[in-house]
Every structure is written in structure tokens, then in C-alpha cells.
């Protein structure tokens, strides 16, 4: 979440810094023009000044980046707090309801179903956070085995349909040839699930997602295309950063931790593949492409 007040004050100080640097440069140029005869001393002075200015600029850039990271970290803590507390609150609410009130059988079954869904949601947030921690630990070696990507996609799709209560037509899957890759089944599953979940979450009310796998040379590409909120061109790369959440009035309404695409990118890298996003801009949907090497 961006705090507008803070943004404004940062902008003020950055402008102030830039103006001061400009003033120093102008004054120095003026000074040089007045005393152009002093030769070596002048050259040393220019060098020193350039170094000072470079230092100040670097310092400012570093500061801004730190502030940004801090803001994202705050937003992340907020989001995780929300994602953890909401399902727990719901489960407690229903348990206490069942404990204190007379509930008929039909309602009781409905409450059980709701509580199970909430515990799934809780579990997936916990998984997401733990997985990010594990991927961050560089020392862990990849333990590859042969995986059928079709099976992974099919499983992710049926899970996603169940969680989001979707009809089969809402997500279509098309595959051209059998695909075997080398990798960690758990990680690949997480990456694929994240892409499909995102496509659904950022679709809005009408979900229309197309999933496709195809082999291209030594690689297999998985394309997940939605007709949802889309992504501004400027943010196509940034969305893969840890904690980053896409901006825009619709996209900010989607609940999440900002970890999903970071996980996808980390998994892709560990498997010597890559992932990227394509979008014509806000309101025009987006496509995510995951490219992984085929098993030899």
C-alpha cells in the first residue's frame, strides 16, 4: 500500500537535492569561467566536484530504493497479517456459532464446508511464505526427477476450479504433444498453480482463461492467458520482484501477498528456464509465459 503523504515528502527532498546539485554545478561553472587560468588546480577541482556529485546521486538513489523496499515490506506484512487472520477469524466464528447456537443439519454442513475452505486458504498462505523462505536459501540443491508437465497442469487446473468454484469452460486447456521435463515436482507444481491462480484472481467477475503447452526446440512453453485487468507496460518486469503488487484500481482489490510471481521466477531460474509477462495494457488482459527446458 502506498502512503501518498510519504510519497509527497520524499518527492520534495529529492527535488531539493537535485536543485542544490544544479546550483553547485552552476556556481562552479561560473567560478571556472572567472578563474580559467589556474590550470592543474582547476582540473583537480572539477574531478573532485564530479566525484562529490556522483556520491550524492548514488546516495539518493540508494535511499529511494531503501524507502521503496521498506514500503513494500510494510505492505507485505499487512497483506500477510490479513491473509492469515481472516481465515482464522472465520473458522473461529463458525466454531463458536456451532458451539453456542442451535444449527440445523443443512446449515451445519455448510459451515463445515466453509471452515474447510478457510483452512485451505490458510494453508496456501503458509505454504507460499515457507516456499519463499526455502527458495531464498541458495544453498539448497535442486533434486530433479522426470515430470509429466501435462499431469501437473491438469492437477493445478482441477484444484483451481474447485477452489474458485469455476465451470470447466472458464479455463480451457490445450496441449500439443507429450511433455517431459526435469525438475522438482513440488516446485514446478507451485509455479504452475501460481500462474493459474493469478489468471483467475486478476480476471474480475468473468473468468476466461486459456492455458496452452507447446514445445519449441529444446524448451516447453506454458502460456496462461487471461482477459482480465491487464498490466501497465512499466510494470511488466517489476511484478516478478518479491512483495511487488501491481497498481491500478481493479488490481489493488485482489488479495495476495506479493510472493506468487516471485516464486514462479525463482522456480524458473532454478530449472534453467525463464518466465515473462505480456500485456497490451490495463483492461486488456495479460499472458504469462513459463519456459522450461525439456528433459533430454
Query: Which residues contact another protein by CB under 8 A?
Result: 78, 81-82, 85-90, 92-94, 96-97, 100-102, 107, 114, 117-118, 249, 252-253
Provide, rounded to whole angstroms, the least separation between the CB of residue 246 and another protein: 14
Please report how close the Cβ of residue 93 comes to another protein at its closest, in angstroms: 4
Is the CB of 89 or the CB of 158 nearer to another protein?
89
Of 144 and 204, nearer to another protein (C-beta) is 204
Q: Toward another protein, which CB reaches closer, 118 or 184?
A: 118
Least distance (Å) between residue 257 CB and another protein:
14
Q: Which of 290, 242, 246 is nearest to 133 (CA)?
A: 242
3-state SS class at 217: coil
- The least distance separating another protein from the CB of residue 206, rounded to whole angstroms, comes to 17
Nearer to another protein, 94 or 288 (CB): 94
CB of 202 to another protein, least distance (A): 13
Residue 22 or 162 having the CB closest to another protein: 162
DSSP classification of residue 84: H
SS3 category, 271 = coil
Query: Among residues 92 and 172, whose Cβ is nearest to another protein?
Result: 92
CB of 90 to another protein, least distance (A): 4
Query: Distance of alpha carbon 122 from its chain centroid, rounded?
Result: 19
Which C-beta is closer to another protein: that of 86 or that of 215? 86
Query: Long-range contacts of range 51-60, CB-CB < 8 Å, 24 or more positions apart?
Result: 53/21, 53/24, 53/25, 56/17, 56/21, 57/21, 60/14, 60/17
Q: Supply the minimum distance, in Å, between the C-beta of residue 67 and another protein.
A: 19
> How far lies 136's CA from each of 19, 36, 267, in Å?
40, 56, 11
C-alpha to C-alpha distance for 251 and 202, rounded to whole angstroms: 7
Phi-psi region of 248 (alpha: psi -120 to 50; beta: other; left: phi over 0): left
- DSSP H helical ranges for the chain: 4-34, 40-100, 105-136, 149-164, 185-201, 260-270
Amino acid at each position: 500500500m502506498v502512503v501518498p503523504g510519504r510519497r509527497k515528502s520524499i518527492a520534495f527532498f529529492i527535488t531539493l537535492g537535485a536543485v542544490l546539485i544544479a546550483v553547485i554545478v552552476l556556481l562552479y561553472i561560473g567560478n571556472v569561467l572567472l578563474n580559467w587560468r589556474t590550470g592543474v588546480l582547476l582540473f583537480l577541482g572539477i574531478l573532485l566536484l564530479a566525484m562529490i556529485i556522483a556520491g550524492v546521486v548514488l546516495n539518493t538513489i540508494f535511499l529511494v530504493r531503501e524507502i521503496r523496499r521498506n514500503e513494500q515490506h510494510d505492505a507485505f506484512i499487512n497483506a500477510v497479517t490479513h491473509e492469515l487472520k481472516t481465515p482464522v477469524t472465520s473458522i473461529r466464528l463458525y466454531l463458536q456459532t456451532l458451539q453456542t447456537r442451535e444449527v440445523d443439519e443443512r446449515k451445519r454442513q455448510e459451515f463445515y464446508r466453509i471452515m474447510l475452505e478457510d483452512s485451505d486458504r490458510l494453508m496456501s498462505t503458509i505454504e507460499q511464505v515457507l516456499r519463499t523462505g526455502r527458495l531464498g536459501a541458495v544453498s539448497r540443491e535442486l533434486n530433479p526427477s522426470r515430470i509429466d508437465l501435462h499431469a501437473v497442469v491438469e492437477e493445478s487446473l482441477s484444484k483451481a476450479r474447485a477452489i474458485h468454484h469455476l465451470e470447466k469452460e472458464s479455463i480451457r486447456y490445450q496441449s500439443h504433444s507429450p511433455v517431459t521435463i526435469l525438475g522438482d515436482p513440488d516446485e514446478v507444481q507451485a509455479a504452475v498453480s501460481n500462474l493459474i491462480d493469478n489468471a483467475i484472481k486478476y480476471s474480475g467477475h468473468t473468468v476466461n482463461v486459456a492455458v496452452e503447452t507447446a514445445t519449441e526446440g529444446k524448451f516447453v512453453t506454458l502460456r496462461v492467458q487471461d482477459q482480465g485487468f491487464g498490466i501497465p507496460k512499466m510494470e511488466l518486469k517489476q511484478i516478478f520482484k518479491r512483495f511487488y503488487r501491481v497498481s491500478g484500481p481493479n488490481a489493488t482489490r485482489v488479495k495476495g501477498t506479493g510472493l506468487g510471481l516471485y516464486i514462479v521466477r525463482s522456480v524458473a531460474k532454478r530449472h534453467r528456464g525463464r518466465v515473462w509477462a505480456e500485456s497490451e495494457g490495463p483492461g486488456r488482459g495479460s499472458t504469462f509465459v513459463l519456459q522450461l527446458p525439456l528433459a533430454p
